[in-house]
Structure 1
Amino acid sequence: MAIAMAGRRERTKQLLRSRIATAILVGILFGCICAVLFPNGFYNSGSSSTPNTNSTSKVGSASCESSERVKMMKYNFALISETNAQLKKQVRELTEKVRLAEQSTENARKQVSVLGTEIKAGPFGTVKSLRTNPTVVPDESVNPRLAKLLERVSINKEIIVVLANSNVKPTLELQIASVKRVNIQNYLVVGLDDSMESFCESNGVAYYKRDPDKTVDKVGETGGNHAVSGLKFRVLREFLQLGYSVLLSDVDILFLQNPFLGHLYRDSDVESMSDGHDNQTTYGFNDVSDDPTMGWARYAHTMRIWVFNSGFFYLRPTLPSIELLDRVSDTLSNSEAWDQAVFNEELFFPSRPGYIGLHASKRVMDMYEFMNSKVLFKTVRKDQELKKLKPVIVHLNYHPDKVERMQGVVEFYENGKVDALDSFPDGSE
């Protein structure tokens, strides 16, 4: 496996070198064309000491020729600029592919090292446990129709998935516009009712309608936000079984950058944004409980962290990720529990007598890159330095007036209107 990954890495590097060589040849070719068209250079000032004795007709002819040359230069400049932008984009994409190949190779090496032979612990400070679980073997027989669609829409076996019905069209329309602004191609809407197909076609985004499922269809067509939110754990299972990494997104989220380009770590089974609003609540803190009746032992230390947000998370196609989906789906199908609460309980509750906890690795996302609306409206918009940062996404999860605030976020971050967020209250009062 490591040898195969190394070969893939070498092929990727060869492709990158080939693209760079092509760009150099294009530059040389353009230089040769300019040398033929303009043998005396772009500007020919002539002799400044010789008086002008040419006729008026010759002056007019020279003026026209100069104007044509300027037009040609402008056209060539625009052509070069467009080619340069395309090459830069290709280089960025290839660089990301090389980085992913190197990361996969390193993960494979660690897996072989840990699982392949018995090992001894090294010197102090050198021991590192296996952090990244191997991915499952893709099984296209699970859903051949979806497999064919994902092969066409995904990039690097990664896909953004959004579940939606007709109740959320206004927010989904704003999200789709944001996806197009930052040129995200691997974006897929899973429609939960019949009207979503024509909506997606009119908006030019990839669409998937699941095969009939009485339980899922009934909730998907008539359910509100929380009911629909609970369906995603059942729906996403097939994506993982097919071998694709999924970035699940609720509809009340705006994309301001492409999350796949340098913003995801991909080293854990679950990588999720947080409902936390500062360093402590987002990344964890030691909270001391006080019970005066205990006298000398009145203080007890507790470890706390605010929950992962179940509306925006990245899943690698691993067994722990699939087990997580199964556990949450099973609990939700047999209770009236909130999907976000169950999602976090399965992720964080440890094994205990009568219960085996989920052995899944997890990572919390940077709260200023993957920003919830409490962070934005209570902190960021009031801080002159934080206002300069551009997040990857903004999730309007803390506020009910979603459309208005989403429009304000677009005005602030995309259109440069500095006071676009000022009129909104911190909370929902």
Structure 2
Amino acid sequence: MAGRKDKAQSPRVFRLLIAIAIGVLIGCLFAFFYPHGLFTSDLPLQNRRLAKLDLQARSSSSCESSDRSKNLKADVVSMLEKNTQLEKQIKDLTRELKIVEQLKDHAQKQYLALGENHKAGPFGTVKGLRTNPTVIPDESVNPRLAKLLEKVAIQKELIVTLANSNVKPMLEVWFTSIQKVGIHNYLVVALDDQTEEFCISHEVPVYKRDPDDNIDKVGKEGGNHQVSALKFRILREFLQLGYSVLLSDVDIVYLQNPFDHLFRDSDVESMSDGHNNMTAYGYNDVFDEPSMGWARYAHTMRIWVYNSGFFFIRPTLPSLELLDRVATRLSQEQAWDQAVFNEELFYPSRPGRDGLHASKRTMDMYLFMNSKVLFKTVRKDPKLKQLKPVIVHINYHPDKYPRMKAVVEFYVNGKQNALDPFPDGSE
């Protein structure tokens, strides 16, 4: 019985083994020909789609990041511009406030001095009147100039220079330095058509007077001294119109705004030709005459002259009288305008002559620097070289243009050896 049962089961087992073998064989064939399976033909496409979507997402994220970066940069630039504007407005307001306070103080002193008679105060408290009242503006003197000054001047103040085509290179350095500092209240009085056209082409405020035979001849053909003498006549109209003028020669480089450093407490504030504290601000010079014996020593008060190429003058009666006196003498004498300017300003009243009662102030010689101070002293002193003057006036040297450029290189562009090639004086 058992033998028959085994014989009956053996064909089944055999068939089962054959089926398994065939299945394994077919599986191997499929594995060989279809390594990725029958249903994976769309996977690469799906992968590509997923990769594309991922790339798009990254690109979108990158674009958004780039846009954000650009927006942030734009915001930063905008904030910096606003900050610069605010700083400028604060600086302008500070200067205006300073001027207002000065004028208020001067007005109070004028009221006290010109009002009713009053008793003197306690010892050490009495102060005399230094600031003369300004004149009433008269626009009928020159209506065309009056309209121009309304646009150019700030707080009724401006820088004025006279120039003809003979000084064009220096004039360009002059107004370029002014523009770089950010000064807007300046004006060139052109003495010929070429200078007027030159200024217009460089967007420089310019004024050309109405034709005047005498003035035109000097303006077109005159040298430095003749043009310098002419300025006292032309300057008078500015004062009559009620404007304070910072008169400037063209051989000057501006490094700061000079209006931030004025006191406005005198009729005239001028830079000095002095080169140290004694010569610039005055000293007691002892004159020795041995033949006088016991009285051999005579004390004298000395001060080096004010520079007539850079001074601030207010529209007061003493200021107008000063201009009239200087212009009159220069039209009648063969004299240097700077010498006449100082004689009229400093010489006292005496028998046969009434002196000019004008108040005056000497400017800081290191802020308003002449070229003798710069080339003889400042450039050789490591500490003084760190100071930044308001202006540098190349008044002591005839090679003005190259020295002006050297001043720009030294103070503006930071070239430390720019001043070295020049001698102390003129060759």
TM-score normalised to structure 2 length: 0.87
Match of 1:379 in 2: 377
Matches within 5 A, 1:275-354: 275-354=273-352
Match of 1:75 in 2: 74
Match of 1:139 in 2: 138
Match of 2:225 in 1: 226
Matches within 5 A, 1:52-131: 55-131=54-130
Q: Does 1:272 align with 2:270?
A: yes
- Within 2, Cα distance between the matches of 1:62 and 1:145? 63
Q: Does 1:424 align with 2:422?
A: yes
Deviations 1:170-223 (A, max 9, x none): 110111111111111111011111211111111111111112222211111100
Identity of counterpart residues, as a percentage?
70
Deviations 1:270-323 (A, max 9, x none): 000000000000000000000000011100100000000000000000000000
Matches within 5 A, 1:102-251: 102-251=101-250
- Within 2, Cα distance between the matches of 1:139 and 1:55? 79
- What amino acid sits opposite 2:170 in the alignment? T
Q: RMSD between aligned alpha carbons?
A: 1.0
- What amino acid sits opposite 2:149 in the alignment? L
- Within 2, Cα distance between the matches of 1:81 and 1:315? 38
- Within 2, Cα distance between the matches of 1:220 and 1:393? 25
Deviations 1:203-256 (A, max 9, x none): 111111112222211111100000100001100000000000000000100111
Aligned residues: 375
- What amino acid sits opposite 1:166 in the alignment? S
Deviations 1:97-154 (A, max 9, x none): 1121121112111111111110111111111111110000000011111100100110
Displacement of 1:57 in angstroms is 3.8
Query: Aligned to 2:259, what secondary structure does the other structure show?
Result: coil
- Within 2, Cα distance between the matches of 1:255 and 1:345? 28
Query: Aligned to 1:317, what secondary structure does the other structure show?
Result: coil
Q: Identify the range of structure 1 (209-218 vs 311-320) with the bigger mean alpha-carbon deviation.
A: 209-218
Match of 2:367 in 1: 369
Query: Aligned to 1:105, what secondary structure does the other structure show?
Result: helix
- Within 2, Cα distance between the matches of 1:114 and 1:348? 23
- Within 2, Cα distance between the matches of 1:348 and 1:131? 15
- What amino acid sits opposite 2:160 in the alignment? V
- Within 2, Cα distance between the matches of 1:55 and 1:394? 66
Displacement of 1:56 in angstroms is 4.6
Matches within 5 A, 1:5-44: none
Displacement of 1:324 in angstroms is 0.1
Displacement of 1:422 in angstroms is 0.6
- What amino acid sits opposite 1:338 in the alignment? W
- What amino acid sits opposite 2:416 in the alignment? V
Displacement of 1:71 in angstroms is 1.3
- What amino acid sits opposite 2:74 in the alignment? Y
Displacement of 1:259 in angstroms is 0.6
- Within 1, Cα distance between the matches of 2:190 and 2:64? 59
Query: Aligned to 2:414, what secondary structure does the other structure show?
Result: coil
Match of 1:16 in 2: none
- What amino acid sits opposite 1:367 in the alignment? M
- What amino acid sits opposite 1:170 in the alignment? P
In structure 1, list runs of 5 or more residues that go unmatched.
1-53
- Within 2, Cα distance between the matches of 1:278 and 1:98? 32
- Within 2, Cα distance between the matches of 1:82 and 1:225? 42
Query: Aligned to 1:138, what secondary structure does the other structure show?
Result: coil
Q: Identify the range of structure 1 (109-118 vs 290-299) with the bigger mean alpha-carbon deviation.
A: 109-118
Tell me which stretches of 4 or more aligned residues in structure 1 moved more than 3 Å: 54-57
Matches within 5 A, 1:373-412: 373-412=371-410
- What amino acid sits opposite 1:211 in the alignment? D
Match of 2:254 in 1: 255
Larger Rg: 2
In structure 2, list runs of 5 or more residues that go unmatched.
1-52
Displacement of 1:381 in angstroms is 0.4
- Within 2, Cα distance between the matches of 1:206 and 1:340? 27
